[in-house]
Amino acid sequence: MVPGSGLALLALLALVPGWLFLQLRRRHAPLQQSAGLGQLLEVLAVGLATTGIAGVVLAFLPHRWVPFLVDLQAWADLGGSYATANPRRILATATVLLVLASLLAWTGDRVFRRQRTELYLGPGAWVHALRERPKGTVPYLGLALQDGTLVEGLMHSCSLEASETRDVALMAPIRVTPPTATEANTVDMQRLVVPEREIRYITVLHLPEASPAGR
């Protein structure tokens, strides 16, 4: 068995891959806000899972294959005296364990992103629909206004907070199709801000970053 000091070390190491996983998730998909205790539990759950798997892998490796790492059997037999006599092996084991657990966290994020569903429940529809986009693309928005006007342009910015003052900002080239028209007109402006109260619905098209809008 791993001594108590080793278990404490595993618990501390588990915080790093758990934190890394949540940071990666936030980069690619905004997470719902949760209380501090909830976030801590998420970090611990992911961290313990990844660190535990990495620890099991290292534990089943014959010590002769990795002589620079800790000999778990000797540590269990000798206890604290082994740790005192082998600080470099303990440091090397902690480093390898941390790297393996972090790789597992990174892999988990990649798998999660590939298999995630595009259906989101809750108040975060604006966040997920407007912020998420494939790498190397820019969102081209079509805003259908309350009076029937269609406004199109590249998304410049958007206030995503759930409030009555939420706005969408477009940038050139900006095209406007009046309610009774069938063709869009390109307007001479660099920015256009449209408040949420004027919008009936929004369409999103992901264009390559180097591609001119409207091509």
Residues 6+ apart with CB under 8 A from 5: 80, 83
Residue recorded with tokens 């999103």: 204
Q: Are residues 35 and 104 in the same domain?
A: yes
Note the pLDDT of residue 161.
61
Q: Are residues 110 and 132 in the same domain?
A: no
**Residue 215 forms part of a structural domain:** no
Q: Are residues 103 and 132 in the same domain?
A: no
Q: How many CB atoms lie within 10 A of CB 50?
A: 28
**Residue 213 forms part of a structural domain:** no
Whole-angstrom distance, CA of residue 152 vs CA of residue 170: 8
Note the pLDDT of residue 27.
65
Q: Encode pLDDT of 9-18 as tens digits.
A: 666 667 778 7
Q: Are residues 13 and 90 in the same domain?
A: yes
Q: Are residues 131 and 109 in the same domain?
A: no
Cα angle vertex 120, ends 115, 124, to 5°? 130
The domain tally of the chain equals: 2
Q: Are residues 67 and 16 in the same domain?
A: yes
Q: Are residues 145 and 186 in the same domain?
A: yes
182: domain CATH number?
Answer: 2.30.30.100
Q: Are residues 108 and 136 in the same domain?
A: no
Looking at the chain, list the stretches that DSSP marks H as alpha helix, in order from N- to C-terminal side.
4-28, 36-60, 72-78, 80-85, 87-115, 125-131
**Residue 120 forms part of a structural domain:** no
Note the pLDDT of residue 192.
92
Whole-angstrom distance, CA of residue 52 vs CA of residue 80: 22
Q: Encode pLDDT of 76-121 as tens digits.
A: 777 777 767 777 887 888 888 888 888 888 887 777 666 544 434 4
Note the pLDDT of residue 55.
79
**Residue 187 forms part of a structural domain:** yes
What are the residue ranges in the chain where pLDDT is below 50? 1, 30-35, 116-123, 212-215
Q: Are residues 141 and 107 in the same domain?
A: no
pTM of the predicted model, to two decimals?
0.45
Instruction: Determine the structural domain holding residue 88 and report its residue range.
Output: 4-115
